[in-house]
């Protein structure tokens, strides 16, 4: 089956980064990219990012999501940063070099457990 992208899971952080870099079409599975409507895919990505915004008050209701998905003409709001994003920050420990090296840190401390049947 030779899929060039073995990990099909994309975090909100990765999706947000691609969105900010205007590369959101890179989120589409390569096997679908030739056959999908690009504007529809970007619309779905936009709506998905609206649903995971950091401020819950800015997230659309399910009724609003249904309207957004069904509308072909109304412009969508621009999403803000998702709730769980890996951010870059300067290290607080002194470094032997003249410039501090950035560290990757995760904003969330959430664990995920998946229940499986026997």
CB 31 within 8 A of CB 3: yes
Per mean pLDDT, which range of 8-12, 59-63, 103-107 is the poorest?
A: 103-107
Mean pLDDT, range 36-58, rounded to an integer: 94
Q: What is the pLDDT of residue 113?
A: 64
pLDDT confidence band for 47 (50 / 70 / 90)? very high
CA proximity to 19, closest of 108, 105, 81, 87: 81
The helix/strand/coil state of 117 is coil
Domain layout of the chain by residue ranges = 12-89
Cβ-proximal residues to 100 (8 Å cutoff; 6+ apart), any chain: 90, 91
State the CB neighbour count (10 A cutoff) for residue 61.
Answer: 9
The helix/strand/coil state of 82 is strand
pLDDT per residue over 76-95, tens digit each? 999 999 987 665 554 444 44
37 CB burial (10 A radius; 0-12, 13-18, 19+): exposed
Mean pLDDT, range 53-65, rounded to an integer: 95
Q: What is the pLDDT of residue 84?
A: 74
């Amino acid at each position: 089956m030779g899929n060039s992208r073995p990990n099909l899971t994309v975090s909100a952080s990765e999706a947000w980064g691609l969105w900010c870099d205007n590369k959101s079409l890179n989120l589409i599975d390569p096997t679908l990219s030739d056959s999908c409507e690009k504007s529809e895919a970007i619309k779905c990505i936009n709506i998905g990012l609206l649903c995971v915004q950091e401020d819950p008050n800015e997230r659309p209701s399910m009724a609003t999501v249904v309207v957004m998905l069904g509308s072909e003409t109304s412009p969508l709001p621009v999403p803000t940063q998702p709730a769980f994003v890996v951010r870059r920050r300067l290290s607080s420990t002194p470094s032997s070099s003249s410039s501090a090296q950035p560290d990757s840190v995760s904003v969330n401390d959430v664990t995920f457990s998946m229940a499986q049947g026997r």
